[in-house]
């Protein structure tokens, strides 16, 4: 569920040129011409996208068994929701990002050189805590309680503290902090603070429920195994979310548009300096081939890959998904984002 950060300029440019007829000058591809390639070359059974630009909405799909209203698993896009909750609590002075994990969860992080007394909430949010990723042991297929996930992590020494190292454990711990501070689970807090106020009627934290709400299609592994039924505790606060295309567009538009966080805390969320430009707090930037930078997150969980990106003000947003675990051709994602956000020439 780590962010895909493949931005190889030469392969992408070659792929775009290959889409143009040999007898004419190169024509910039559109999202509609690129989306079928996620199926034909990306190895997905089906793909869909939903884009918003002001009052304009555009939907497209490719392949069979996928629809605009489908519910699907969103994987690590969950992290943007969790980060938003933590920053809301910081804005309310109920915690500080400089608080240590030990202050909120005494004794939790101890072992193999890991020490919650020197680990801040900020370092969890931007993945510089050094905590090992528990899914490297479980491969994202073993349902766990948060405490079990942490215990697996503590069998490994930490990475270099202060260096960016994407870890699902960071956000599992943040979910525990939210519960400790509020007295309610992160799922309940997300419902009352984000989901209900924004009217995200297709979004939920399913807990241990293995089925998807209707309507939904099917989800597949790369070898075609049907994994639609899945225990979300394989990811917990790092990747449990179930949602829809429309809800993700609405959420990121509201977040980046300043509806969920005061401006100071939204700037904090987008501050990537500690992670050397790679990650903020539940968001990461991506500089496209035309020089425009978009903000968002991706999500990978068994049987589903999702990507949402938006302009920095949230006025333009795109979410696309495939109903399998990963895209076989990594150049297709940046090409699709460029087709949506880069200015088109006549």
**101-118 residue pLDDT tens:** 999 999 999 999 999 999
Alpha-carbon separation of residue 190 from 49, 91, 161, 207 (angstroms): 25, 16, 29, 13
Kindly state the average pLDDT of the residues 125-135. 98
Tell me the domain boundaries of the chain: 27-341
Kindly state the average pLDDT of the residues 80-90. 98
The reported pLDDT for the residue numbered 5 is: 36
The reported pLDDT for the residue numbered 13 is: 33
Largest Cα–Cα distance in the chain? 68
What angle in degrees, to the nearest 10, is found between the helix axes of 78-91 and 168-182?
A: 40
Is residue 3 predicted with pLDDT exceeding 80? Answer: no
The reported pLDDT for the residue numbered 330 is: 93
Q: Identify the band that residue 27 occupies on the pLDDT scale cut at 50, 70 and 90.
A: confident
What angle in degrees, to the nearest 10, is found between the helix axes of 146-153 and 168-182?
A: 130
The reported pLDDT for the residue numbered 345 is: 66
Active site residue 76: yes
Contact assessment for residue 144 and residue 155, using Cβ atoms and an 8 Å cutoff: no
The reported pLDDT for the residue numbered 18 is: 35
Average pLDDT of the chain is 92
Instruction: Please name the residue ranges forming H helices in 45-110.
Output: 78-91, 101-104
Fold of 27-341: Beta-lactamase (3.40.710)
Cα torsion through 134, 238, 146, 167, rounded to 10 = 30
Catalytic residue (one of 23, 76, 129, 304): 76
**What percent of the chain is predicted at pLDDT more than 70?**
92
Is residue 142 predicted with pLDDT exceeding 70? Answer: yes
**183-236 residue pLDDT tens:** 999 999 999 999 999 999 999 999 999 999 999 999 999 999 999 999 999 999
Helix (H) or strand (E) run with residue 23 in it: none
The reported pLDDT for the residue numbered 11 is: 32
**306-329 residue pLDDT tens:** 999 999 999 999 999 999 999 999
Other beta carbons less than 10 A from residue 24's beta carbon? 7
Backbone angles phi, psi at 310, to 5 degrees: -150, 160
The shares of helix, strand and coil residues in the chain, as percent rounded to the nearest 5, are 35, 15, 50
Q: Please tell me the total number of residues recorded for the chain in this structure.
A: 346
The reported pLDDT for the residue numbered 9 is: 32
Is residue 8 predicted with pLDDT exceeding 80? Answer: no
Contact assessment for residue 319 and residue 306, using Cβ atoms and an 8 Å cutoff: yes
Is residue 7 predicted with pLDDT exceeding 70? Answer: no
The reported pLDDT for the residue numbered 346 is: 57
Is residue 171 predicted with pLDDT exceeding 50? Answer: yes
pTM score, whole prediction:
0.93
Q: Identify the band that residue 28 occupies on the pLDDT scale cut at 50, 70 and 90.
A: confident
**257-299 residue pLDDT tens:** 999 999 999 999 999 999 999 999 999 999 999 999 999 999 9
Calpha distance 86→173 (Å, rounded):
11
User: pLDDT higher for 55 or 147?
Assistant: 147
CA-closest candidate to residue 245, choices 36, 60, 6 = 60
Kindly state the average pLDDT of the residues 234-255. 98
């Amino acid at each position: 569920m780590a962010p895909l950060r493949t931005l190889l300029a030469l392969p992408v440019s070659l792929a775009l040129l290959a889409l143009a007829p040999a007898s004419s000058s190169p024509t910039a591809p559109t999202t509609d011409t690129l989306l079928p390639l996620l199926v034909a070359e990306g190895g997905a059974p089906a793909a869909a996208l939903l884009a918003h630009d002001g009052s304009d909405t555009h939907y497209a799909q490719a392949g069979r068994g996928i629809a605009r209203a489908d519910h699907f698993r969103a994987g690590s896009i969950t992290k943007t929701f969790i980060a938003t909750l933590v920053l809301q609590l910081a804005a309310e002075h109920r915690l500080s990002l400089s608080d240590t994990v030990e202050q909120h969860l005494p004794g939790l992080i101890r072992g193999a050189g890991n020490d919650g007394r020197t680990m801040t909430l900020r370092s969890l949010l931007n993945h510089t805590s050094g905590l090992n990723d528990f899914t490297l042991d479980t491969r994202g297929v073993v349902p766990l309680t948060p405490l079990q996930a942490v215990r697996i992590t503590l069998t490994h020494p930490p990475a270099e503290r202060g260096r960016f190292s994407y870890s699902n454990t960071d956000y599992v711990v943040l979910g525990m902090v939210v519960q400790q501070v509020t007295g309610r689970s992160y799922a309940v807090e997300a419902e009352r603070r984000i989901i209900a106020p924004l009217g995200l009627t297709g979004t939920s934290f399913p807990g241990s429920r293995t089925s998807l709400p209707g309507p939904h299609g099917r989800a597949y592994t790369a070898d075609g195994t049907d994994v639609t039924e899945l225990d979300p505790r394989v990811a917990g606060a790092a990747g449990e979310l179930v949602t829809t295309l429309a809800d993700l567009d609405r959420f990121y538009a509201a977040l980046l548009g300043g509806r969920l966080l005061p401006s100071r805390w939204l700037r904090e969320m987008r501050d990537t300096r500690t992670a050397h430009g790679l990650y903020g707090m539940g968001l990461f930037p991506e500089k496209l081939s035309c020089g425009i930078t978009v903000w968002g997150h991706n999500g990978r969980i068994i049987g589903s890959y999702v990507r949402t990106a938006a302009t920095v003000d949230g006025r333009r947003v795109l979410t696309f998904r495939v109903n399998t675990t990963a895209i076989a051709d990594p150049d297709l994602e940046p090409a699709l984002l460029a087709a949506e956000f880069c200015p088109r020439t006549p």
